[in-house]
Amino acid sequence: MTLTYFLTMLISGLRLGSVYALIAVGYAMVYGILRLINFAHGDIMTLGVYFMIALMISLGLPFWATMIISVILSIAVGLIMERCAYRPLRSAAEETVLISSLAVSTILQNLMTMIWTAQRMPVKLPAWLSVANRIGPFTIKTISFVTFGVTAAALIILTIIIRKTRIGVAMRACSENRKAAMLMGININRVIMFTFAVGSALAALAGFMMSGDYGTVYPTLGFTPSLKAFCAAVIGGIGSLGGSVLGAFIIGIAEMLFAGLVPTNLTNYRDAFVFAAMIVILLFRPNGIFGKQEGGRS
Amino acid sequence: MLEIRDLKVRYGGITAVDGISLTVNDHEAVSLIGANGAGKTTTLHAISSLLKIASGKIFFDGVDITSLPADKIVQMGIVQVPEGRQVFTKLSVEDNLKMGAYLERDKAKIKANMEFGMNLFPIIRERRKQTAGTLSGGEQQMLAICRALMTSPKLLLLDEPSMGLSPLMTQEVFKVLRTLNEQGTTIFLIEQNAYEALEFTDRAYIMESGRITLEGRSADLLNDERVRDAYLGGDV
Amino acid sequence: MTKLTKILALVLALVLALSLAACGAGGGNEPAPAPDDGSAPEQAAENTGTPLAEGEDIVVGGIFNVTGFQSPIDAPAQQAFALAIKQINENGGINGHMLKYVTYDGQTDQTVCANNATQLINTDGAIVIGGLSDSDYAYAAGAVAQAAGIPIVFSGATTPDIPEVNGNCSFMTAFGDNVCAEAAASYAYEELGARTAYVMIDNAMSYTTNLAQYFIDKFEELGGEIVLTDYSTTGDLDYSAQVQRYLANGEADIMFMSTGPDDASTVIQQFRQAGATAPMMSGDGWDSDLWGVAGDLANQDVYVATHYATSDDSPIVQNFIADYTEEYGYPPENAFAALGYDCMMVIAKAIEMCGDDITPANIRDNLEHIQGLECVTGTISYTPDNHVPAKTVVITQAVDGALSFLKNQA
């Protein structure tokens, strides 16, 4: 094994980590405010991709326009999901809402199968995105750079929103203490809707990056990556945005290094490795690597 | 100012508040006294619209606010200092105060309110850069009151402000509440510490198992046999 | 927090179990040794039944995975199978009997396939069954048919040991994987001049594991060297680990990609985009849409060893293509359509040989005596000792969105 090979796997891991980060942030935000693990999050990601190719095929719009419209449509689906499946259960037990989110996930997957069939559909991005660039000893596709860039930009914008804007302040208040936030006059429904909107938009972006890279989409596309992103959020100390981003990169890189460095006949166990690693981490740090370790007083 | 008519609240099959009625007049300080589990906090949550009520009506300045959401209640000028302080422990003292001013868009007003609170509790000014979680219980209580004052409330609701506080700290908190009341803020207070509450307020209601069993002027209740036996430990 | 931990633990245990199960799925099926002189089917239940009354319909059952990841190959097979039945009925049926076709979706699930067989035999009264393009499902349905003594002809399943494992009621329309992989290895070695080979194996399917093993054995026997063997699993989206490992190891003369039909285009796209330039080759599983994801990249040196090529100008092939196109509005999607058609032709021939005495047992016996039946995918013959037809393999190359005929490779 050469250094070049190792670094190549590391770059692949960063690319994977970027996609996981975009998804994980959505999980973490929703969990932070609602204490809800929204399992339908990954399906929003898949749906965003379907919206994009449907718009491309039926309307023939330019690439950037389809992206914007499909992000908006994904946000709409996220909001409908919150309004219909989660808001009525706001005061129900955590398990109940969790099951509701599994139901939403199944419904969305079945809807996608009904509309677009279970077959893989090709996702055709503009050709310049698939160009392989030789940089020194490495070959890196343009879409990988785009993935890094989009993730970085999205996370920076999100940080600014959370730090500087009123709604961001309200989000922080809600995630720390929902009851106190309500007593400050914060409209909690608006905060929750905003959270779902941002999460859905990021998920759709993650979907574009992933499907654009692999060139394909199918109804269960979002399942495995979103499960790994969820692990990232947990490893990062669920609810902590910075933690979930770090967790996402740790998982992405660990997964690629595992796949690349183990003997070939173990490569297929990369998913199992990710989940097993998460369990091990949680055994030693029950609140995640970056989560507060002293039980908490909530 | 505040009028509650025949309020009922149920949790599942349990009736926590069973048809109570009470009023708080302008500039008054009124307390609701009762043992743990009598339904006092539930009543306060009902006013702040933190829970769904089963029946009854709540009016504020003659306006029916029964079905308004929590944020609208705050906008109307009813602000609660919740039980157990509920400060944002991860944020700084200053950010906690800014959070309290969420509905206030006038920067000068925010600054003035912050000054006002810090003048009431000088210790808060000293601690303003610290994380709220590092404050003592009494300091957190002061912060919670300051935070509630950030929107210049007309009616201040307080849930057990003396809980977990040293007698000295309790004294200080009530001293400030008295100042606030004298300056015109109407106060509705819930307390287990009946003596402090009755000393401080003009009128009081006694609550038992979801019902109001006794009401009257606080000075009279202080001397009432039944109140003395049940809430004042006999000889005070 | 404790509640959350509990939920987490449950969810994770589930996920872990699922991901391990997916990885291990192929482990149980070791590549079967290639039978040299054909398989010797086990003798089993005789279902003599009562011969059909005059004019009574012959119930033909069909089991195809028209949903799930097998659907790209099973759906065309089903359509062609149905087309064949329709044509037979239009020509007056067989020996005065019309065919009644009952078909169920196997849903790419072995249990469902087995249940389908039970339902066809017990409820619908099927006396012969056709279908299935993958061995894993053929084992499941074949065991049920064997127990009931109902002959079953598999349209596209290619593991050569199926009749040996299932018993004497099972027949195959396609050549065995050994024949296919050996032809591929010979072509790579002799025609493409490959001396070193890279092999990637989807080890979640017995088809792909077997195919790869046969290729490796033949390639080494010819004197070639396998420089690297790597693994993937059905449904993988990210092949960057495999690609990078391959490139780091140095390019081989040929890449033999033993994956299923659904993954083919993704594999081509990722290997080619990352800069792997060696010729790529696979078996009949790649006789599917190679261009969907990969686009033009699929036209760069991709070879598929399969059952027939649409560019073959013999009348039987061109008639089939014309009939299928007329019926469905588009040409046959892949070779599995042709196999589905041939599967029914084989069944029809055996029924015809029964004369007036149409019983499951007679159909089975007559299947064993079909000799030199001209079919779309070649000439089919069976013997009591061999239920796998010895056919030539067609080597094709992906050119402009279709597989173009290169050579009949023995």
| Contact present, C369 and C160 (Cβ < 8 Å) | no
- Pairing of the two strands C378-380 and C280-282: unpaired
Chains touching chain B, criterion 3+ CB pairs below 8 Å: A
Rounded distance, CA A269 to CA C16, Å? 10
Nearest to C282 by CA among C311, C261, C313: C261
B65 touches chain A (CB under 8 A): no
What would you report as the CA-atom Rg of chain B, rounded to the nearest whole angstrom?
A: 17
The span from the CA of C61 to the CA of A234, in Å, is 51
Per-residue pLDDT of B106-131, as tens digits, reads 899 999 999 999 999 999 999 989 99
How confident is the model over C92-118, as pLDDT tens digits?
999 989 999 999 999 999 999 999 999
**How many inter-chain contacts (A to C, CB under 8 Å) are there?**
118
Q: Which of C2, C74, C245, C246 to mutate to test the interface with A (most CBs of A within 10 A)?
A: C245
- Distance from B74 to chain A by nearest Cα, in Å? 5
Number of residues written out for chain A: 298
Residue B172 pLDDT more than 80?
A: yes
pLDDT at res. B225:
84
Indicate the Cα dihedral angle C269, C270, C276, C282, nearest 10°: -60
Domain B1-77+190-236 bears CATH identifier 3.40.640.10: no
Contacts 24+ apart (CB under 8 A), C348-351: C348/C84, C348/C88, C348/C94, C349/C373, C350/C128, C350/C151, C351/C58, C351/C94, C351/C95, C351/C97, C351/C128
Compute the mean pLDDT over every residue in chain A, rounded to the nearest whole number: 89
**Which residues of A are less than 8 Å from C242 in CB distance?**
267
Among the partner residues A169, A176, A185, nearest to B90 by beta-carbon distance: A176
Query: C387 with C171: CB under 8 angstroms?
Result: yes
Per the CB < 8 A criterion, the answer to whether C301 and C256 are in contact is: no
Closest alpha carbon to C128 in C364, C341, C365:
C364
Average pLDDT of the residues in C394-406: 91
Of the pLDDT bands very low, low, confident and very high (cuts 50, 70, 90), residue B229 is confident
Nearest CB neighbour to A278, from listed C12, C71, C244: C12
- The answer to whether the Cβ–Cβ distance between B69 and A189 falls below 8 Å is yes
Please determine, looking at this structure, whether the domain spanning C58-175+313-392 carries the CATH number 3.40.50.2300: yes
Q: Residue for token digits 């300056």? A: B183
The two three-digit tokens of residue A91, written as one number:
């005061």
Q: How far apart are CA C304 and CA C300, in angstroms?
A: 12
Any idea what the Cα angle at residue A32 is, between residues A19 and B89, rounded to 5°? 130
pLDDT level of residue C34 (50, 70, 90 thresholds): very low
Q: Of residues C337 and A117, which shows the higher confidence score?
A: C337
CB atoms closer than 10 angstroms to residue C139 = 23
Partner chains of C (3+ C-beta pairs under 8 Å): A
Portion of chain C with pLDDT greater than 90, in percent: 68
What 3 state SS string does chain C have? CHHHHHHHHHHHHHHHHHHHHHHHCCCCCCCCCCCCCCCCCCCCCCCCCCCCCCCCCEEEEEEECCCCCCHHHHHHHHHHHHHHHHHHHHCCCECCECEEEEEEECCCCHHHHHHHHHHHHHCCCCCEEEECCCHHHHHHHHHHHHHHCCCEEECCCCCCCHHHHHCCCEEECCCCHHHHHHHHHHHHHHHCCCCEEEEEEECCCHHHHHHHHHHHHHHHHCCCEEEEEEEECCCCCCCHHHHHHHHHHCCCCEEEEECCHHHHHHHHHHHHHCCCCCCEEECHHHCCCCCCCCHHHHHCCEEEEECCCCCCCCHHHHHHHHHHHHHHCCCCCCHHHHHHHHHHHHHHHHHHHCCCCCCHHHHHHHHCCCCCEEECCEEECCECCECCCCCCEEEEEEECCEEEEEEEEC
- Chain B CB contacts of A189 below 8 Å: 69
Helix (H, G, I), strand (E, B) or coil at A9: helix
Q: What residues 144-203 of chain C have any CB closer than 8 A to a CB of chain A?
A: 203
> Which three-class secondary structure state does DSSP give residue B204?
strand
- For the beta sheet containing B14-24, the strands, ordered from the edge strand earlier in sequence to the opposite edge, are B14-24, B2-11, B55-60, B63-64
Among C residues 45-74, those touching chain A with beta carbons less than 8 Å apart: 67-68, 71-72
Is B228 in a helix, a strand, or coil? helix
- The ranges assigned to domains in chain B are 1-77+190-236
Q: What is the per-residue pLDDT for C27?
A: 36
Contact of A279 with chain C, judged by CB distance below 8 Å, is answered with yes
| C213: phi then psi, degrees, rounded to nearest 5 | -65, -40
Q: What is the C-alpha separation between C50 and C106, in angstroms, rounded? A: 29
Under the banding of pLDDT at 50, 70 and 90, the label for residue C48 is low
Say whether pLDDT at C345 is over 90.
Answer: yes
Which residue type sits at B205? Y
pLDDT tens for residues A55-71?
Answer: 988 888 888 899 999 99
Instruction: Please indicate if any CB of chain C lies within 8 Å of the CB of A197.
Output: no
Q: Which 243-262 residues of chain A touch chain C by CB within 8 A? A: 256, 259-260
Shortest alpha-carbon distance between residue A282 and chain B (Å): 23
Residue B193 or residue C82, greater confidence: C82
Question: In chain C, where are the structural domains located?
Answer: 58-175+313-392, 178-306
pLDDT at residue C13, rounded to an integer: 60
Q: What are the tens digits of pLDDT across the range C193-244?
A: 999 999 999 988 888 999 999 999 999 999 999 999 999 998 888 999 999 9
Confidence at C29, pLDDT banded by 50, 70, 90: very low
State the Cα–Cα distance between residues C259 and C266, nearest whole angstrom: 10
**pLDDT at position A279:** 86
Of A211-220, A289-298, C30-39, the least confident:
C30-39
Q: Which of C58, C4, C44, C124 is nearest to C357 (CA)?
A: C58
Task: State whether B88 and A173 contact (CB < 8 Å).
Answer: yes
Chains C and A touch each other (3 or more Cβ pairs < 8 A): yes
> Would you tell me how many other CB atoms lie within 10 Å of the CB of residue C21?
11
Looking at per-residue pLDDT, the higher value among C19 and A238 belongs to: A238
Q: In sequence order, which residues have a C-beta less than 8 Å from that of residue C361 and are 6 or more positions away?
A: C46, C47, C48, C49, C149
Question: CA of B19 to nearest chain A CA: how many angstroms apart?
Answer: 23
Give A102's pLDDT tier (boundaries 50, 70, 90).
very high
Per-residue pLDDT, averaged over A206-218, amounts to: 91
Cβ contacts of A298 within 8 Å, gap of 6 or more: A177
State if pTM tops 0.90: no
* Closest CA–CA distance from residue C144 to any residue of chain A (Å): 28
Q: Across the strands, what pairs with B22?
A: B4
Q: What is the CATH number of domain C178-306?
A: 3.40.50.2300
Q: What is the pLDDT of residues B205-228, one digit of tens each?
A: 999 999 999 999 999 998 888 888
- The single residue listed with the structure tokens 């009813």 is B78
Comparing CA positions, the residue from C373, C355, C371 lying closest to residue C363 is C355
- Lookup: tokens for A72: 């908006």
| pLDDT in the model for residue C119 | 95
Q: Verify whether the Cβ–Cβ distance C248 to A268 is below 8 Å.
A: no
Rounded Cα gap, residues A44 and C133, in angstroms: 34
Q: How many residues does chain B have?
A: 236
Helix (H, G, I), strand (E, B) or coil at B217: strand
Collapse the DSSP code of B105 into the 3-class scheme (helix H, G, I; strand E, B; otherwise coil) and give the result.
Answer: coil
- Tell me the C-alpha distance between B88 and A169, whole Å: 12
Confidence of residue C11 (pLDDT cuts 50, 70, 90): low
Q: In this prediction, what percent of chain A has a pLDDT beyond 70? A: 97
Low-confidence winner among A92-96, B62-66, B125-129, C187-191 (lowest mean pLDDT)? A92-96
pLDDT value for C380: 92
Q: What confidence tier does C28 reach under pLDDT thresholds 50, 70, 90? A: very low
Phi, psi of B55, deg, nearest 5:
-160, 170
Partner residue opposite C292 with nearest CB, options A122, A260, A295: A122
CA gyration radius for chain C? 22
* Average pLDDT, rounded, for chain C: 88
Q: What pLDDT, on the 0 to 100 scale, is given for residue C37?
A: 43
Distances (CA, A) of C5 to B62, C10, C368: 48, 9, 61
pLDDT at C154 over 90: yes
Q: How far is B52 from chain A (nearest CA, A)?
A: 10
pLDDT, tens only, B75-98: 999 999 998 889 998 889 998 998
Enumerate the β-bridge partners of residue C224.
none
In b/e form, how buried is each residue of A49-64, taking b as 16+ CB within 10 angstroms? bbbbbbbbeeeeeeee
Closest CA to A26 of A221, A237, A241: A241
Is residue C140 over pLDDT 60?
A: yes
Sequence letter at residue C247 = L
Pairing of strands C170-172, C152-154: parallel
Segment A93-117 shows an average pLDDT of 91
Q: What are phi and psi for residue B94, nearest 5 degrees? A: -65, -45
**Mutate which of A166, A183, A190 to disrupt the B interface (most B C-beta within 10 Å)?**
A183
Question: What's phi and psi for A238, nearest 5 deg?
Answer: -55, 135
Residues from chain A contacting residue C237 (CB–CB below 8 Å): 210, 214, 216, 221
Q: Which candidate, A155, A288, A283, A278, places its Cα nearest to that of A228?
A: A278
Q: Which 55-114 residues of chain A touch chain C by CB within 8 A? A: 94-95, 98
pLDDT score at C17: 57
Q: Does B131 touch chain A (CB under 8 A)?
A: no
- pLDDT at position B162 is 87
Joined together, the tokens standing for residue B230 give 């049940």
Question: Can you tell me the distance from the alpha carbon of A112 to that of B161, in angstroms, rounded to the nearest whole number?
Answer: 54
Integer Cα distance of C389 and C404 in angstroms = 24
CA C340 to chain centre: 10
Q: What angle do CA A125, A126, A128 make, to 5 degrees?
A: 120
Between the alpha carbon of residue A217 and those of residues A112, B221, C133, C251, the distances in Å are 11, 74, 24, 30
Residue A8 near chain C (CB below 8 Å): yes
Token couple for C257: 């990609």
Amino acid at C351: I
